Amino acid sequence: MERQRLDPRCLFDLMLSRIEARDFRCFEHVQAELHPETTVLRGRNAQGKTSLLEAACVLLRLQSPRTSTRTDLIRHGQASFMVEGVHGADTLRCGMSARQRRLAVNGAVMGRSGEYLKESGVVVWMDHGDMNLLRGGAEHRRRYLDFTASQTERGYLDALRTYERALRSRNYVLKRDAQINWRHADAYAQIMDKAAEVIWQARNELVDATLEPARRALEALSMGKEELGVRLVRGAEAGGLFEQLVDQREQEQRTRTTAVGPHRDDLWIGLHERDAGSFASEGQQRSLSVALKLAQARVLENRRGEAPLLLMDDVFGELDATRRQLLMENLPQGSQRVVTTTGGDWVEQQKDAIIYDVDAGSLKLVK
């Protein structure tokens, strides 16, 4: 195991060595070689550095952490975008228009996203928004869980999409008529019941698997012992969802929306057994949010057997030198990083790195 990890060929096997994008966000055409360890994209704001990071995420995961609207990704006035890259020995290619998606691995067209995602790599995305894990609504914490689970659990993404579509349909049935057609609503509740089992099982396992790595990461980052806790707070009682929804008729008749289910789940995050969102200091919250992302990287590595690609959007700029150093030291070994920043002395000090300056949608190699 140890020897394998040191074998440099292994490192190269798993990395994203090149990325190219056409008509993606502000880029008409851009391409970049990426370093096996660190690639820095430096530039003023709104020059496109985050978009390039986003392109890497879309290439490997077919989704953007910044938007769920596909057309946001297409350059203004164009009908589609294309992202291509070399991941390990494979050439991945992904093109999307408003309605269509074309995926290929080594030139072979992949009809289903599942097949493509099996070949592509795993990703962790870090940015300012991570503070929402502590300060934002439950949807941020569910998204955090979903982003990991959809990369580790086969069938999770399908179950989640099925659940969400059935939920939207059911809510529409509850709202539409003065007299609710419960049989119609139940037809969706049955589908949600099955999908919820898959979602809950995966989320439970994931939260269990996250606790230890998150504790270790927090300890390293805050240079001391802090008692971190994470728990899945289910948006329903234990037991089958269908029966519980049948029991909620009266309430749903009033509120006209689905009362219980995984869409009401939350991830409780605590420090010394108190809710960290309300009681932790801003500094502690910042460390917690980073620790949770580092734990995500660890869980992905454990489950998939490969270190994830870390896409870090302007994370270092906010930290003082000590914290920056601590974070860098605690990034998972052997993981490849692509980092955006507005600048700073630390950039030029990077030893094993490629540095690009990003200006008005074009890249210039600095080193």
Taking the complex as a whole, how short is the minimal distance between the CB of residue 130 and another protein, in angstroms?
32
Residue 250: other Cβ atoms inside 10 A: 9
Taking the complex as a whole, how short is the minimal distance between the CB of residue 162 and another protein, in angstroms?
6
Taking the complex as a whole, how short is the minimal distance between the CB of residue 191 and another protein, in angstroms?
5
Taking the complex as a whole, how short is the minimal distance between the CB of residue 77 and another protein, in angstroms?
18
Nearer to another protein, 44 or 175 (CB): 175
Nearer to another protein, 195 or 207 (CB): 195
Nearer to another protein, 176 or 272 (CB): 176
Nearer to another protein, 172 or 279 (CB): 172
User: DSSP letter string over 264-302?
Assistant: G-EEEEEETTEEHHHHS-HHHHHHHHHHHHHHHHHHHHH
**Alpha-carbon span 61 to 55, nearest angstrom:** 10
The DSSP element (H or E) to which 330 belongs, if any, is: helix 321-330
**Among candidate residues 79, 113, 110, 114, the one with its CA nearest the CA of residue 97:** 79
Nearer to another protein, 90 or 186 (CB): 186
Exposed (0-12), middle (13-18) or buried (19+): which is 68, by Cβ within 10 Å?
A: exposed
Interface residues with another protein (CB under 8 A) are: 158, 162, 165-166, 168-169, 172-173, 176, 181, 183-184, 186-188, 190-191
Taking the complex as a whole, how short is the minimal distance between the CB of residue 190 and another protein, in angstroms?
5
Side chain identity at residue 4, one-letter code: Q
**Alpha-carbon span 73 to 243, nearest angstrom:** 41
Nearer to another protein, 184 or 234 (CB): 184
Taking the complex as a whole, how short is the minimal distance between the CB of residue 332 and another protein, in angstroms?
34
Structure tokens at 238: 């234990």
